[in-house]
Amino acid sequence: MAVNTPAPLVYRAGEGWSYESVGGGKWTRTRAKDQLDVAQQAFDSKNYSMGLKAARRTVRVWPLSDYAPQAQYLVGRCLEAEKKDEDAFKAYQALLEKYPKSANYEEVVKRQYEIANRYLAGQWFKLWGYIPFFPSMDKTVGMYEKLIKNGPYSEVAPNAQMNIGTAREKQSDFPQAVKAYEGAADKYHDRKQVAADALYKAAEAYLKQAKTAEYDQNVAGQAISTYTDFMTLYPADPRVAESQKKIAALRTEQARGSLIVAQFYEKKKHWDGALVYYNEVLIRDPNSKYAEEARKRIDEIKKRTVRQTAQR
């Protein structure tokens, strides 16, 4: 009586258990080149599981061979094809660190950049490589930082540095966003468009921070200073007119902040301090509604001072 038997279950150290059919299905080889060929053929036929096993074995058994870099590259490609982006990024990182003279170095850095971009767009990281867990801008920033370190002047490095700023803005961490943008403007100053975008985005991040900093007038001042630097360095940029409007809005914001401080001093009956900040409102934005209020309060405080002097 004929009996159907399953393929044998085989265990190999470092590779784990796998089913292998008898005869031609065997995927291991005794030479690095032949093992790499198995991995490449499996990858080309979209058998990514087999390709991954064969590629990993090539790297593990023959780590110093001429075929190891291509095998490590295939590890990353198979993982990426299986939607295991974080593991793929790590595999590419291992390639760049172990085999820095790899022929497809630039392509690998670009692939890392594309993976990081997917996480920047909101893709979730996975627990144990399988379970969707959470998006993380901190881990995304870590990816960008690694690929910048891999190739600080590669084609994608300037955009990676800019995307660190974008990731920090998504966290509402505006000081770190500013730091990232200013880093891009400084490091890539010789790339005019990158430097202009970086400086403008730094000013924008300061502006967003100023809107959340009720009493911190320094932030508004830094935003004004950065917009001014942008307009000075790139006077032909189409965003100059918008920058001028935002500077005007920031001066109004500064005036509002000074008014709040002045009102605090007046409430505490610290008349001299109140006058200092009410006058500061007039200096920062003399035509605003806050300036109108400041003038009224200045007149009232002066009248109060005259009355107190007369009484004494």
The total of other beta-carbon atoms located within 10 Å of residue 115's CB is: 21
The total of other beta-carbon atoms located within 10 Å of residue 280's CB is: 18
Cα–Cα distance measured from residue 163 to residue 177, given in angstroms and rounded to the nearest whole number: 9
- In Å, how far are 49, 197, 205 from 178, measured between CA atoms? 43, 12, 6
User: Among candidates 29, 12, 28, 9, which has minimal Cα distance to 20?
Assistant: 9
Per-residue model confidence as pLDDT tens for the chain (312 residues)? 444 444 455 555 544 454 444 334 589 999 999 999 999 999 999 999 999 999 999 999 999 999 999 999 999 999 999 999 999 999 999 999 999 988 899 999 999 999 999 999 999 987 766 667 788 999 999 999 999 999 888 999 999 999 999 999 999 999 999 999 999 999 999 999 999 999 999 999 999 998 886 556 788 889 999 999 999 999 999 999 999 999 998 888 889 888 999 999 999 999 999 999 999 999 988 988 999 999 999 999 988 878 877 776
What is the CB-side half-sphere exposure of residue 44 using CA atoms within 13 A? 6
Claim: this prediction has a pTM higher than 0.85? no
* 136 backbone φψ class: left, alpha, beta (φ>0; ψ -120 to 50): beta
Handedness of CA 100, 103, 108, 109 (dihedral sign): positive
Q: Is 3 exposed, middle or buried (0-12, 13-18, 19+ CB in 10 A)?
A: exposed
In the DSSP assignment, the letter for residue 62 is -
